[in-house]
Structures are given as structure tokens and as C-alpha cells.
Amino acid sequence: MARLSFRSLLPWLDVMAIAAWGIALLKFWLTGQLFLLIHPNYGWLTIGAAVALLLVSALRAFFIWKASRRPGRQMPPMQHLSLFPPGWGSILMLIMAIAGLVFTPQAFASQTALDRGVADSIPYTRVKPQAFRGTIRSEDKNLIDWIRSLQVYPEPDAYAGQKAKIQGFVVYSPKLSEQYFLLTRFAITCCAADAYPVSLPVKLTTGDRKAYAADTWLEVEGQMITETLDGKRQLTLQANSLKPVPQPKNPYNY
Amino acid sequence: MNQLNNAFTLFLSLLVEAIPFLLLGVLFSGLLQFFVDERRLLALLPKNPLLGSLVGSCIGFLFPVCECGNVPVARRLLMQGAPLPVAIGFLLAAPTINPIVFWATWTAFRGQPEIVLYRIGFSLLIATIIGWVFGTQKDVRPLLQPALASVLSYRSQASADYSSGTPPLLQSGTYFLGQSARPLITDPSELQAAMVATATKPNGYRLRLLLDNTIQEMRELGGVLILGSAIAAVIQVFVPRELILGLGQSPVTSILAMMLLAGVVSICSTVDSFFALSFASTFTSGSLVAFLVFGPMIDLKGVGLMLSIFKPRAILYLFLLAAQLTFLLTLALNLYIS
């Protein structure tokens, strides 16, 4: 008897699993958490999918309800190759959608940056600069703009003395002395799975980096200089002022 | 705890990016089942094995299905008399050679468009070669499961009758009068295909069939997608980076590792590029292409489904040929091109 009632609940399980994913996707969008998960270019795809999933589940619910009122007219069962025992796929989807509704995605922080290898160059596989804008004011460039400029023209001396104002979070690199930390941001091309860190070393004029805890978001203003760090000449930001800022709503650069 | 949090964020990001493509793939394949008339298509297919397997590889464009949808379609094609090279070419290439997979791969690898091209090129090449190789087998029945083979035996007998001058309408033993050992249609899925193809049912009925199909596929493929994304997230966050880099940077081991992963994870071809993307910074390009080419052809889930067409021996041949060709082509890519 219990088996029978489980079977009769299966169609409703499908409806719930699909609707739950529609709701979860909408929740990511409405709470702005979508920015933490995927590149904004694909936001509309997610929203469209959410609407379509809700539509499919609503239609399905309507047909089940209609069929239950006229028990004589059942749908012909459609033969289908199954991988899971009945109900498993839906239960898995339903549980994960609920987990997604409850859980708040986190932006990646310094530990992930160190794990993934902070670098001041974009690996060759990543999006290349589409245009080299020489006329942009150096204070207006964000972190990834600086890295892209460096990729096109890597000589650090070429930027010496230029003013900069960039935002990012603090990463302590074990290779740098107490006077330096890495100002870091993550960049993504598609979704969080391919997020990669980019960073510039920041040189403090006074004190040591302990005043700025790892993962603190800062806006750093200063001038570009060239320093030899870890045996390599590198573009470094000499900080004049460091101002704590809240973590941006959209913490990634593109 | 933080690591767990990262892993779950990553897992969700893979799902959120992949679900729209999965839904699109499922809806499209459902819709096309209504609009493409397989019987008319079969009449146009070339008989030459090489040409046949090439055309078979390309008709994936008409049936945008991933590797769960292509097995039933390949089975129907064989039953309706398609030559084996066509069916094999279709079976191996259709999950990759279709517009939705192109789009998804392009989305994932926007920074490396060459991956998309290699994926398409290698898949077409491998599927065509394997289809051609199987074309040398004159009598295909020993390779097929008995139920399918008996349908084909009946067909060849029927066409022999036809060529001996009996008009098709007067063939003996076609129906249920016991003169022939085999009824015309032995398989419920073919019956269903025939029903769908000649459906003169009202639109509401067809809409409900489409809806049922969509929900069943979402349920199955969504389940596999969730398991696959979880594996990708766990590997990325919890396996030490040195280990992954050590494996992923060598031209040979990276390919073997990714092919093994492709075979085990069984993730749907419309969304596997997002899975591969999470390895893009640590693995060689050749190994990513190996994952994207080999996974849709042979994986644990697909082998389970293929057993509804082929005997295990034939699947072993398919597996060996596909694995060798993928390995050699992507190794050449690693060593000579990138």
C-alpha cells in the first residue's frame, strides 16, 4: 500500500523538483547572488530558464490535476530509457534546489586565490584585451585593466609615476616581505568554476601589512613604481592612502 | 568550513550556468521528434559506407539530442533500415554535432575558440572513421542484440521477396496470421515512433507528450548533471593543487586522466563544456578536447543505453576505436600544435 501511494506521488515529485529549480534560479537573480555565480552576460539565460521551468511545472501540475479528476483517461505511458530508480532523479534535484534556496553563495577569498595561484599576468588561455585604450585616465583603470595593459606592454618602467586608484581584497603572499601585500580580484569568463585571481603588489610606506587583515576590501590610491620582488621586476603600487570599502555587490572583474 | 562553502558555490555556479542549456536541449529534441520525418530522411541517405557515416555524423544537426537521446534514435534508424555506418556515425557524433552543444561550448570557452573547432573536427573525424570501419561488416546482425537483429532479418527477407517480384502488398507473413515467425513490429519503442511520426492526434495530446518527454529527460539528465557538478566541485576544491597540476600538465597523463573522467562522470554533452571549464587552468588543451570528444561517445551511462542496441563485443570495438583515435589526435594536438 505504501508502495502504491509513493508511485502516485511520483508525478507531483517531478512537478516540485522542476518548480523548485525555477524558484531557486529566480532567487539567485532577485537577491543579486547571480553575480557571484556566473558572468552577467548569461544572466538572461538563467532568468529565461527559470520562467520556462516554472511554466513546465505549472502545465504538468494542471494535467495531473485534470487526469486525477477523470481517472478513466490516463496518459499512455511513454517508454523511456531510465538510469535511476523511479523518483531518484527528482528527489536529488529537489534536495539540491532547496539547498540552493537556503545557502548563500560566497565570493571567493584569499585562500582560494593562493590555491589557484595569484599572478600578475593573465594565463595565455584567458580572454585577451579586445582594445588597448591608451587615452583612458590611469586613475580610472581597474585592476584587470592594469593587468591587461601589462600583458600588452609588460615593461613596468613604462608605467612609473602614473597615478592609480584600484579596489581589491588583501592577500598575503608568503613570497613577499612584511611591507607588501597583493591587492587581488577574481576575474571570470563564464562562471565561478573558471574564476582566476589577478593581483598587483602594493607597497606600504609606513608600518607593516598586519594593519590590513587578509580578505579586507580596500581602495588603494598611489603611484606606480617598479620593484624587484621574488627575483622579478614587477609593477608595484606605492600606496598613499588605503581606505577600507565594503565588498562590492559584484566582486568579480571581467 | 570555508572550503565546503567554496565547493558549494562552485557546484551551484556550474548548475546555474548549465541548466538553461540542458532545458534547451531537452525541449529541442522533443520538438524535433514531432517535426522530422525519419522515414523520409532514410530514403535520402547514401549507401556508400564512407559517405554514409559522414552523413550520419552530420544528421545530429536535425536531432539536437545528447547521448541519452541519441541511442533510442539510432535504434529507430537501424530498425527502419538505415545502413550501419549511418547509425554508428549518428550514434557517436550526434551528441556533439548539434547547434546547442556548439553554443554551450562556445559560451564556456569564449577565451579559447579553438577548443570548439577541435571538438567539432575531431568528433566528426572519429565518428566517420568508426562508421566506415563498421561498414566493412557485410552482415551486421551478429553485432546486434537478438531482438533488433530479428527485426533486420525480417526486413532483409521482406526486401528479398520484393526483389523476387512479389508486389509489396502481397508479401506473405507480414501480419499476425502465423505464416511468418516474426510480426512486423516487435518493439514498443518502434511502435511508439511510428505513432509519433504519423501522429494525426490533436495538438493538446501532442503537447502533453512533449511535456512528458521534457520532464522525464530533465529528471534523468538533471540527476546526472548534479552528480557530475558535485564531482567537479569536489575535485577542484579538495584535491591538492600539486597533484592536479602534476597530472594535468603532462601531455600524456593529462589526456588519460581526462578520458577516464569523461568515461566515469557521464555528464550530458550539452553541459559537459562547463565541467571541463573548471579544469581549463590546470589541464592541457589537448586533454580538455579529449574530454569533450570522448565523453559524448563513450561513458558509463551511454554504455548502459547502448546495450539496448549492440552486443557487448561490438561496444568493446566501439570503445577501443574511439579511445585510441581520441588519444592519438589529442596527443598530436598537445605535442605539435599547442
pLDDT bucket at B94, cuts 50 / 70 / 90: confident
Higher local confidence (pLDDT), A93 or B172? A93
Query: Does A241 score more than 60 pLDDT?
Result: yes
Considering Cα of A209, then A211, then A213, then A216, what sign does the dihedral take? negative
Residue type for B187, please? D
A90 contacts B20? CB cut-off 8 A: no
What CATH number should be reported for the domain holding residue A189? 2.40.50.140
B10 contacts A192? CB cut-off 8 A: yes
Higher local confidence (pLDDT), A8 or A127? A8
Q: Which pLDDT value is given to residue B191?
A: 47
Q: Which pLDDT value is given to residue B146?
A: 82
The Cα A114–Cα A171 span in angstroms is 8
C-beta of residue A206 within 8 angstroms of C-beta of residue A144: no
> What mean pLDDT do residues A123-130 have?
50
> Residue B90's closest CA among B64, B62, B56?
B56
Helix (H) or strand (E) holding A113: helix A110-116
Do residues A159 and A188 share a domain? yes
A100 contacts B9? CB cut-off 8 A: no
A99 contacts B8? CB cut-off 8 A: yes
In a mutagenesis test of the B interface, which of A29, A31, A78 is the best target, namely the one with the most B β-carbons within 10 Å?
A: A78
Do residues A13 and A98 share a domain? yes
Rounded to an integer, what is the distance from CA B204 to the centroid of its chain? 30
- pLDDT tens for A62-111 read 988 888 887 655 544 444 455 567 778 889 999 999 999 998 888 888 77
Give B326's contacts (C-beta < 8 A, 6+ positions apart). Answer: B122, B126, B259, B290, B293, B294, B297
Q: Which pLDDT value is given to residue B64?
A: 63
Q: Which pLDDT value is given to residue B177?
A: 41
> What mean pLDDT do residues B60-85 have?
76
pLDDT bucket at B166, cuts 50 / 70 / 90: very low
Do residues A95 and A195 share a domain? no
Output DSSP code: residue A74: P
Query: Does B257 score more than 60 pLDDT?
Result: yes
Please tell me the total count of domains within chain B.
Answer: 1
Q: Which pLDDT value is given to residue B184?
A: 44
C-beta of residue B95 within 8 angstroms of C-beta of residue B60: yes
Tell me which residue range forms the domain holding B318: 2-337
C-beta of residue A186 within 8 angstroms of C-beta of residue A119: no
Q: Which pLDDT value is given to residue B279?
A: 83
> Residue B135's closest CA among B74, B75, B95, B88?
B88
Rounded to an integer, what is the distance from CA B279 to the centroid of its chain? 23
B208 contacts A14? CB cut-off 8 A: no
C-beta of residue B227 within 8 angstroms of C-beta of residue B300: no
Q: Of the candidates A52, A109, A193, which has its C-beta nearest B274's C-beta?
A: A193
Do residues A94 and A10 share a domain? yes
Residue type for B304, please? G
Do residues A41 and A77 share a domain? yes
Query: Does A14 score more than 50 pLDDT?
Result: yes
> What mean pLDDT do residues A137-151 have?
81
Do residues A142 and A85 share a domain? no
Give B297's contacts (C-beta < 8 A, 6+ positions apart). Answer: B67, B92, B95, B123, B126, B127, B318, B322, B326
* Domain boundary pick from A40, A75, A102: A102
Interface predicted TM-score of the whole assembly (ipTM), two decimals: 0.86
What share of chain A has pLDDT > 90, as a percent?
20
> What mean pLDDT do residues A5-18 have?
83
Do residues A47 and A134 share a domain? no
3-state secondary structure of A224: strand
Please tell me the total count of domains within chain A.
Answer: 2
- pLDDT tens for A19-40 read 999 999 999 999 988 888 888 8
- Under 8 Å CB pairs connecting chains A and B tally to 161
> What mean pLDDT do residues A219-238 have?
87
In a mutagenesis test of the A interface, which of B16, B73, B287 is the best target, namely the one with the most A β-carbons within 10 Å?
A: B16
Q: What are phi and psi of A228, to 5 degrees?
A: -100, 110
pLDDT bucket at B172, cuts 50 / 70 / 90: very low
* Domain boundary pick from A77, A102, A127: A102
Query: Does B244 score more than 90 pLDDT?
Result: no
> What mean pLDDT do residues A135-160 have?
80
- Chain B residues closer than 8 Å to A121 by CB: none
Do residues A77 and A120 share a domain? no
Q: Which pLDDT value is given to residue B170?
A: 45
In a mutagenesis test of the A interface, which of B10, B13, B227 is the best target, namely the one with the most A β-carbons within 10 Å?
A: B13
* Domain boundary pick from A102, A123, A152: A102
Do residues A204 and A220 share a domain? yes
A88: closest chain B residue by CA: B223
Q: What average pLDDT does the structure give for chain B? A: 79
Q: Count Cβ neighbours within 10 Å for each residue of B170-187 and write b for 16 or more, e otherwise.
A: ebebbeeeeebeeebeeb
CA distances for A25 relative to A30, A48, B265, angstroms: 9, 10, 24
Q: Which pLDDT value is given to residue A71?
A: 65
Do residues A38 and A88 share a domain? yes
Tell me which residue range forms the domain holding A48: 2-102
- pLDDT tens for B111-146 read 888 999 999 999 999 999 999 999 888 777 888 888
Q: What average pLDDT does the structure give for chain A? A: 81
pLDDT bucket at B158, cuts 50 / 70 / 90: low
Give A222's contacts (C-beta < 8 A, 6+ positions apart). Answer: A163, A164, A202, A237, A238, A239, A240, A241
Do residues A88 and A26 share a domain? yes
CA distances for B190 relative to A249, B111, B196, B214, B265, angstroms: 54, 44, 10, 19, 30
Q: Of the candidates B208, B222, B233, which has its C-beta nearest A63's C-beta?
A: B208
Q: Of the candidates B213, B280, B308, which has its C-beta nearest A78's C-beta?
A: B213
Q: Which pLDDT value is given to residue B201?
A: 58
The count of other CB atoms within 10 Å of the CB of residue A248 is: 14
Quickly list H helices, B94-200: 99-108, 113-135, 146-163, 188-197
Do residues A70 and A185 share a domain? no
Q: Which pLDDT value is given to residue A25?
A: 95
> What mean pLDDT do residues B196-208 have?
63
> Residue B233's closest CA among B2, B9, B21, B19?
B9
Give the pairing of strands A217-229 and A163-171: antiparallel
Longest dimension (CA), chain A: 83
